[in-house]
Amino acid sequence: MKNLFEGLKNLIQPKFPPTYDPYFIPMGLFMEWYRAQGEKRTEKIKIAIERENSLVSTWEDFLLPPEEKTLPLTWLYLERIIKFLLWQKGGWKIYFCGPEALFRLIKETYAVSGPRQFDVNLMSTVYEKPFTVCLVEEKDFPCARDNQLQLGGHLDGCRLGFDLGASDFKIAALKDGEVVFSEEIPWQPQEQADPSYHYENIQSGLRKAASFLPRVEAIGGSAAGIYINNQVRIASLFRGVPKDIFKKKVKNMFLEMQKEWGVPFEVLNDGEVTALAGYLTLNSPGVLGVAMGSSEAGGYLNPSGHLPGWLDELAFAPVDLNPQAAVDEWSGDSGVGAMYFSQQAVNKLALAAGFNFPADKKLPDRLKDIQAMAEKGDDRARQIFQDVGLYLGYTAHLYSLFYDYQHLMILGRVTSGIGGELIKQEAEKVLRAEFPALSQKIKIHLTDEESRRVGQAVAAATLPEIKK
């Protein structure tokens, strides 16, 4: 591992290493280096990932021959791509067409007791099927099959929207597209073992917002986690709920709410709603939304103006190849997005910068302290947000290798105040200097301060269609 790390540091040298994370190794730069090996890459491989309803995403590439000298770099390249694809697209089955030696490594890694057991177990839970890795010949390789969800953006009628975060949740009331009420409500959902806490708090917030409307005709929700057909498959907001109670009381929670309200009701991952918020703000498709809150949420609206229905759980997608990078305590993997674009990222950098916090001070409050100091001009505090911006610039390039997008919309509590401006400025600096062609294609957007905080609740309200 040490030799690989030293080799990577020599191969990959970003022009703008983060001040408080100087050994950051951008995955996108490594992918570019690997692809630049050109004719040396003689091994053709294909990867397919199957998710719900037999939908399939595919990836084709060429690798260096799996020889002893190059195998560590080739395996790093291949495994990180598979990891990214798994959390970008979602799925319960990996098809691999390529060298058997690499297949064996994939199968061992993505096994119930392997290094990626978190990914395996979570995907099995989400898709309610045993996770499978299989080797196939080219003639048996599955074809890509995607669906096209209908875009939200419905502004007619009287609507409620909510966005569930780890430290607060936002509610909004809209009448014919005009926001007539919005509010942030503090709560502590992750610490609660009884899901009635979640249900009653959300319902109370919705009833309060409803009091500002003559009637309620539709409700839309945004929340971190994975939601399929309005069912909660996995969500950090309910981490304190025992598994047996989760199945009985949480899985169908939003279906129960829909019954109670008796109106069209749609819930999506908060990253998807971020992309939708970007579309509503910009009136342009091709939007990749990144919400920086308690974790990182991603969402994608393709150039055709559709939500492809992918998982887009970028919190678990790799961005940094430094093997000594901070480890995400939930997934157990290092270098993943949650540690770079969230309250966790700010805390990590703040500690590296020399800030000290009481042990019982929670991350949202630590973020507020750093933000307050940045507003007052504290150089160390400002540099923390600048470092997040450097992360973002290099990761915007990485995301462009997996997504076709023209707009990068950033939202969430981490982007509030001067911090958001610093993040945007540094990310744009990286794009101009390291990726000039890409900087002409991709524009980074920050919405106004209120939209940064409650914009997802407003966008979520536009998800359901009111059927006349």
Amino acid letter for position 283: N
The DSSP letter of residue 303 is T
d(C-alpha 99, C-alpha 101), whole Å: 5
Span 387-439, pLDDT tens digits: 999 999 999 999 999 999 999 999 889 999 999 999 999 999 999 999 999 99
Give residue 452's pLDDT.
47
Give the global pTM: 0.86
pLDDT at residue 149, as a whole number: 66
17 secondary structure, DSSP code? -
**Distance from C-alpha of 312 to C-alpha of 224, rounded to nearest angstrom:** 11
Sequential DSSP letters for 319-350:
-B--TTSPBPTTT--BSBGGGTSSHHHHHHHH
Do residues 410 and 423 lie in contact, with contact meaning Cβ atoms separated by under 8 Å? yes
| Euclidean distance between CA atoms 68 and 229, whole angstroms | 46
In terms of Cβ atoms closer than 10 Å to its own Cβ (0-12, 13-18, 19+), residue 150 is exposed
DSSP category for residue 62: E
pLDDT tens digit at each of 468 positions of the chain = 556 767 788 889 999 999 999 999 999 999 999 999 988 999 999 999 999 889 999 999 999 988 888 899 999 999 999 999 999 999 999 999 999 999 999 999 999 999 999 999 999 989 999 999 999 999 999 999 987 666 688 999 999 999 998 888 999 999 999 999 999 999 999 989 999 999 999 999 999 999 999 999 999 999 888 898 899 998 889 999 998 999 999 999 999 999 999 999 999 988 788 788 888 888 889 999 998 988 898 899 999 888 888 999 999 999 999 989 999 998 999 999 999 999 999 999 999 999 999 999 999 999 999 999 999 999 999 999 999 999 999 999 999 999 999 999 998 899 999 999 999 999 999 999 999 999 999 999 987 654 444 578 999 999 999 987
- Reference 403, options 296, 302, 252, 259; nearest CA is 302
Residue 71 DSSP label = H
H helices of 268-307, in order, are 270-282
CA distances from residue 440 to 330, 432, 437 in whole angstroms, order as listed? 37, 8, 5
Residue 220 forms beta bridges with which residues?
161, 266
Handedness of CA 70, 25, 433, 339 (dihedral sign): positive
Buried b (16+ CB within 10 A) or exposed e, 368-404: bebbebbeeeeebbbbbbbbbbbbbbbbbbbbbebbe
Sequence ranges of the domains in the chain:
37-140, 158-272, 273-455
At 177 the pLDDT is 92
Strand runs labelled E in 150-304: 158-164, 168-175, 178-186, 218-223, 226-228, 231-234, 265-269, 287-292, 296-301
The number of C-alpha atoms within 13 Å of 463 and in the hemisphere containing its C-beta is: 30
Q: At what angle do helices 27-35 and 71-89 cross, to 10 degrees?
A: 120
The pLDDT of residue 272 is 85
Which ranges of 287-435 would DSSP assign to H, the alpha helix? 343-352, 363-375, 379-400, 418-434
- The CATH homologous superfamily for domain 158-272 is ATPase, nucleotide binding domain (3.30.420.40)
Check if 37-140 and 273-455 are the same fold: no
Residue 340's Cβ-side half-sphere holds a number of Cα atoms within 13 Å equal to 30
First to last CA, the chain: 61
- Tell me which H or E stretch contains 263: none
Residue from 176, 182, 122, 175 nearest 336 by CA: 122
Query: What contacts 24+ positions apart, CB below 8 Å, involve 171-176?
Result: 171/205, 171/206, 171/208, 171/209, 171/457, 172/209, 172/454, 172/457, 172/458, 172/460, 172/461, 173/209, 173/210, 173/212, 173/213, 173/461, 174/458, 174/461, 174/462, 175/213, 175/214
As beta bridge partners, residue 222 has 163, 268
* 37-140 classified as CATH 3.40.140: yes
CATH 3.20.20.150 correct for 273-455? no
The tokens for 205 are 């917030």
Q: Is the dihedral of CA 350, 355, 360, 365 positive or negative?
A: negative
Query: Which pLDDT score, from 0 to 100, does residue 2 have?
Result: 55
The Cα 32–Cα 367 span in angstroms is 34
Q: State the pLDDT at residue 448.
A: 62
Coil, strand or helix: which one is 296? strand
3-state secondary structure 72-123: HHHHHHHHHHHHHHHHHHCCCEEEEECCHHHHHHHHHHCCCCCCCHHHHHHH
CA 340 to CA 24: how far, in whole Å? 10
How far apart, in whole angstroms, are the C-alpha atoms of residue 384 and residue 375? 12
Q: Give 75-93 pLDDT, tens digit per residue.
A: 999 999 999 999 999 999 9
